[in-house]
Amino acid sequence: MEETLVEVRHLTKKFDQFTAVNNVSFSVKRGEILGFLGPNGAGKSTTMKMITGFLTPTDGQALVEGIDVSEDSVEAKRCFGYLPEGAPAYPDMTPDSFLRFVAKIRGYKAHQIDERVYNAVARINLSSVLHQPIETLSKGFKRRVGLAQAVLHDPDVLILDEPTDGLDPNQKHEVRQLIREMSKTKAIILSTHILEEVDALCTRAMIISAGKLVADGTPAELSPLDDVFRRLTTHNQALS
Amino acid sequence: MMNSIVAVILNFTNSVWVIFKRELNDYFSTPIAYVFIIIFLILSGIFTFYLGDFFSRGQADLKPFFTYHPWLYLFLIPALSMRLWAEERKTGTIEFLLTLPITTTEAVIGKFLAAWFFTAIALFLTFPLWITVNYLGSPDNGVIVAGYLGSLLMAGAFLSIGSCFSAITKNQVVAFVLSLVVCLVFILSGFPMVLDLFSGWMPELLLKTISSFSFLTHFKAISQGVIDLRDIIFFASLIVFWLFININLVALRKAD
């Protein structure tokens, strides 16, 4: 089961004179959990936004399940679940109405919607807050709502931008467990600042600094991670 | 081939419909919708009965009501449309929305239709005026129906402008002001006072072109019960034009 589910080829993003992402290439196979590491402003989120079709690359391609995200955007978007940074959601909706909305947009009908929402809620543990407006939820629950909408349609690919940010230690543990479970049948890309999360969770880690890929290997190969991280990213930041 | 065309149409309809419903529910989940409707009704009442001299005119029609609709919409519709895209960009939900398997076109049209339908609800709730004028006299109800439909179409044109400018900025106030100014230009281009300014020296053709863009000019006939295809085409084309720009703006600016 080693098919490549995500492929990124020479992805570049320039905003006027500023190069946010510089010729990044990598691929992710089913069963892999890829950890995206980097200092703030390094280009992690920008890369994810290009893979998910939110941003158009200046150069290069991103393919999900073989579909070019820029060319066949809607089809590609059916293949992944995305948790954007900050887990944005409509504040006046409840988790229930929000997840139903996502289910309907993804084309589910009637009893399928009930089933999908029920499964997502059970999996992510949202039943206690199901009918509360999202704006009243704690940061941790808001993030869980974002996760629930990303896994609702059981996609083969998950792209998670800082999925455990703002969660308490127990919630972090729960989310990591969940990611670990799902990775058996999926390809998962997650970005994080937390180095120990990479060690705990990821099968592979990539370090991005100033838009460039500066390291790619297993957590074991990149150990000790904080030293490697500091060395590679401070150096690059000094140059840029 | 036929199958895939049908599939595309069904997908389009589903996406637009789901977004439309979500938006409409959103309007009514906060007090804003009710406040807006109440202000709309109060203002249209004031315009009709005081400014429009409804009673002293002694005529059983709703002309004083319809005459002020362009001015009513000038302020109220930018207030409605300013949050359409600016808020999504501000809160970041635009990133969530546009990474769902929908096209930008479906998102823009869904939101626009919801705002338009909401305006239709506000307009519909002025029906007591219609009942009143039927109680007091025998108005030509065909003229009144035409007036309502024409007003709704014009509201759509205002909305398409407002929605477009909402996509330019994250700041709702800026969106409001820009929309208001542009809508004002469309209204004023037919204002007798403005046309008189130009009539002395401007070539007749140019004068006619400027006034041909005026909401006032096109709405006047409709409000008197005359449904001229040219007026309908005018408002409909404006809606299509501004929605087209809107779609492109959202696609271009979503990640800024």
B171-193: pLDDT as tens digits: 999 999 999 999 998 888 867 76
Separation CA A148–CA A211 (nearest Å): 30
In this prediction the pTM is 0.91
Can you give the pLDDT of all 240 residues of chain A as single tens digits?
579 999 999 999 998 889 999 999 999 999 999 999 988 888 999 999 999 999 999 999 999 999 999 988 999 999 999 999 999 999 999 999 999 999 999 999 989 999 999 999 998 889 999 999 999 999 889 999 999 999 999 999 999 999 998 888 888 888 898 899 888 899 999 998 888 889 889 999 999 999 999 999 998 888 888 888 888 888 655 544
Residue A240, pLDDT score: 47
Query: How far A141 CA lies from chain B's nearest CA (Å)?
Result: 17
Name the residue type at position B189: S
Q: Is A109 left (phi over 0), alpha (psi -120 to 50) or beta?
A: beta
Q: Which residues of chain B have pLDDT under 50?
A: none
Q: Under an 8 A CB cutoff, do A105 and B15 touch?
A: yes
- CB contact residues (below 8 A), chain A span 7-26, against chain B: none
Nearest to A105 among B29, B95, B102 (CB): B102
User: Is B61 exposed, middle or buried (CB count within 10 Å of its CB: 0-12, 13-18, 19+)?
Assistant: buried
The amino acid sitting at A175 is V
CA pair distance A223, A226, nearest whole angstrom: 8
Whether the CA torsion A118, A122, A128, A129 is positive or negative: it is negative
CB A82 within 8 A of CB A55: no
Q: What ranges make up the beta strands (E) of chain A?
A: 4-15, 18-29, 33-37, 59-64, 67-68, 80-83, 157-161, 187-192, 204-209, 212-217
B212 CB within 8 Å of a chain A CB: no
Integer CA distances (angstroms), A148 to A87, A119, A142, A154, in order: 11, 9, 10, 10
Residue B207 contacts A, CB cutoff 8 Å: no
Omega cis (within 30) before A224: yes
Round to whole Å and give the CA distance between A183 and B174: 45
Residues of A in contact with B26 (CB under 8 A): 90, 92-93
